[in-house]
Amino acid sequence: MDKHSSMILIDYTKCSPCSGLICVGVCPVGIIEQNENHKPVITDFSSCTKCGVCINLCPTKAIALNRKQENKEK
């Protein structure tokens, strides 16, 4: 298992989204942005440091570090 293939993923079935889009505000490298549907999207996976801040602060535990897979909004 290649651990470099892991990446952050947002589970849109769990993201309400929360008031203020916490993850958008907390990412230290600014790669989570709000899209036109007012949902958070990760704009640059290669810049993610996997710091875990967004994972820890999401109130609905909608963000996780997973193996690489599609990250499309459902």
Q: Which C-beta is closer to ligand SF4: that of 51 or that of 67?
A: 51
DSSP 12-72: TTT--PPTT-HHHHH-TT--EEE-TTS-EEE--GGG-----HHHHH-TT--EEEEES----
The footprint of ligand SF4 on residues 12-71 (CB under 6 A) is 15-18, 21-23, 26-29, 31-32, 40, 42, 48-54, 58-60, 62-63
Chain contacts with ligand SF4 (rule: CB under 6 A): 8, 10, 15-18, 21-23, 26-29, 31-32, 40, 42, 48-54, 58-60, 62-63
